[in-house]
Structure 1
Amino acid sequence: MADKRDYYEVLGIKKGATEAEIKSAFRKKAMEFHPDRNPGDKIAEEKFKEVNEAYGILSDPQKKDKYDRFGFAGVDPNAGFGGGGSGGFSGFGGFEDIFGDLFGGAFGGGFSQSRRNGPRKGQDLQKQMNITFEEAAFGTKKQVQLNKYVACEECGGSGAEKGTSKVTCPNCNGSGQVRTVQNTPFGQFASSHTCDRCGGSGQITEKPCHSCNGSGKIRKTVTISVDIPAGVDNDSVIPIRGQGEPGTNGGPNGDLYLVIAVSPHKLFKRKGNDLWLDMPITFTQAALGAEITVPTLSDKVAYKIPAGTQPDTVFRLKGKGVKSLRSGKYGDLYVKVILEVPTKLSGKQKKMIEEFGESLNHDGYAKRKSFSETMKELFK
């Protein structure tokens, strides 16, 4: 057991944690690494097993006491202390109840023995969808291709050849579990594991369907139409009910979760439901004021900037942002004016600017005047 991590470390708690703290930590970790949330992720699967094993020890007062005193040797059946760390969890009652609470509804788990061979929801799927900035703002309809398992049309998902049906598994007598008892110097310890023959379903197929080989499902590429609502943003998640993989034993299909990725816009930046736009203006426009044409996502609007507008001044155009997914109200468009200084000047133009600068006194530059006066006071 030298390669094992400390059970308290696995759950992210300190030694001496209360029963409530152990239970709370287990819930969080189990939810994080549950296979239904991490399909195909082998690392998450191993961590999920590790979390289960740690909780199996620390939630049982007797096993926890032995672990606290003797470490892994105290819970290793081969070490003579009695009580395995991963050989089933029938030694305590709270474990199965917790998993029923955590995953019985939302993720189709169902961990109690009475539910192992009952209807179970199919696996949820997740897919990233790339859309444009405008599609996110205004909404759109998309076609999504999925390569997933679907119910076998030949057998209707039963897994049995037409005209036949499943029968009770003789190994586990329909329970889906095989129970074993281990004799130790400290007494008998019972454990259970999933029946190898029926895979925990409690039933076997004597004549498997020739199309799906008895699994009840086949892999297929399907195309579904999806409505993307106006106002979605990066990492928005759109649930599509029933578009996951088939359930087992008559359970409902899992769900599909679309994770939205929005392409950046050439002009606009989004902050919540508001849009921001950097708009260059000339010195003449800033000094004298001007009517400028401001682009929005849907059209162009005229806006009059006042004379003496300073660089980086921000103007707000109300209601020209993005529609809120929740309230349906529109955000605003914030326009920051960027003063652009000309770089390519002819000799004549340079002369004109010099003459113009000489014609201005300090009253025309209020900030510069204040700065100069302050500097004089500092260096008297």
Structure 2
Amino acid sequence: MDDILASIFGRGALRATSWVGGLFQHGGMGGFNGFGFAPDLDLSVEIQITLQEAVLGGKRRVQLSHDSFEIKIPAGVREGEVLRAKGRGRRQGGMVGDVLLKVRVLEDNVYTQKGDDLYKSFDLPLKTALFGGRVQVETLYKEVALKIPPNTKNAQKFRLKELGVKNRKTGGVGDLYLLANVILPHTDTLSAPFKQTLQEQLP
């Protein structure tokens, strides 16, 4: 192999190549840059965002020890994805690396994400559950008037199309599923005749 390389590049080039290779083997250097092995100037950090930021996107200021900058969070970003801030890494000579931001989506106390879909519980008065009507429900995108049919059961599921999470690969948007949480009135708030009627009529 040495003879083949020497016939192409000459003995001097072969010695230079072996020397550079020795630097690489003894470590601490990064990829080959044409003249030698360039240092790894990238920085890997974790960024924590809310579920709302992950779904809707937005901007977030990142504060590092050596720099402060604003990064765009794309709508539909997922747990574990890596966002790249070009030119914000370490510097050495005329070279500069990037900052690689690994996304961690914080748990939300209202919404649960499953793939492209979101799930949320909403309170439903017993009267509306029994006889039907409409209730106003907040979503991440807008407030909606949800039609409730008579005899709605506890935990009954309602689907709102395309109010879930954007899939950045397909461009589609998942759905929002609303789960009814039927609120029972306290019996102390009911009149005595009505309680008597309930006791007689309820199975």
Global fold match (TM > 0.5) = yes
Contact 1:293 1:301 (8 Å CA) reproduced:
yes
Selected match of 1:137 from 49, 52, 55: 55
Percent identity of paired positions between Structure 1 and Structure 2: 33
1:339 and 1:350 mapped to 2: Cα distance? Answer: 23
2:35 and 2:192 mapped to 1: Cα distance? Answer: 87
Task: Give the length in aligned residue pairs.
Answer: 178
2:91 and 2:30 mapped to 1: Cα distance? Answer: 11
Cα drift, residue 357 of structure 1:
4.1
2:103 and 2:196 mapped to 1: Cα distance? Answer: 54
**Aligned counterpart, 1:355:** 197
**Aligned counterpart, 1:232:** 77
Root-mean-square deviation (CA, aligned residues, Å) is 2.9
Give TM-score, length-normalised by structure 2: 0.73
2:183 and 2:63 mapped to 1: Cα distance? Answer: 47
1:279 and 1:350 mapped to 2: Cα distance? Answer: 30
Aligned letter for 2:168? L
1:343 and 1:240 mapped to 2: Cα distance? Answer: 55
Unpaired runs of at least 5, structure 1: 1-95, 101-106, 148-220, 363-380
Cα drift, residue 359 of structure 1:
3.2
Unpaired runs of at least 5, structure 2: 1-20
Relative contact order (C-alpha < 8 Å, sep 6+): which is higher? 2
Aligned letter for 1:279? F
Contact 1:144 1:223 (8 Å CA) reproduced:
yes
**Aligned counterpart, 2:9:** none
Structure with the higher strand share, 1 or 2: 2
Structure with the higher helix share, 1 or 2: 1
1:353 and 1:327 mapped to 2: Cα distance? Answer: 55
Matched, 1:122 2:40: yes
Give TM-score, length-normalised by structure 1: 0.42
* Larger Rg computed on CA atoms: 1
**Aligned counterpart, 1:337:** 180
1:134 and 1:141 mapped to 2: Cα distance? Answer: 12
- Could you list the runs of 4 or more consecutive aligned residues of structure 1 that deviate by over 4 angstroms after TM superposition? none
**Range moving further from structure 2, 288-297 or 227-236:** 227-236
Give CA-to-partner distance per residue, 1:291-348, whole Å, 9 cap, x none: 11121112111111111111111111001112222222211110011122223524x5
1:140 and 1:232 mapped to 2: Cα distance? Answer: 11
1:131 and 1:342 mapped to 2: Cα distance? Answer: 38
Contact 2:55 2:75 (8 Å CA) reproduced:
yes
**Aligned counterpart, 2:165:** 322
Aligned letter for 1:237? V
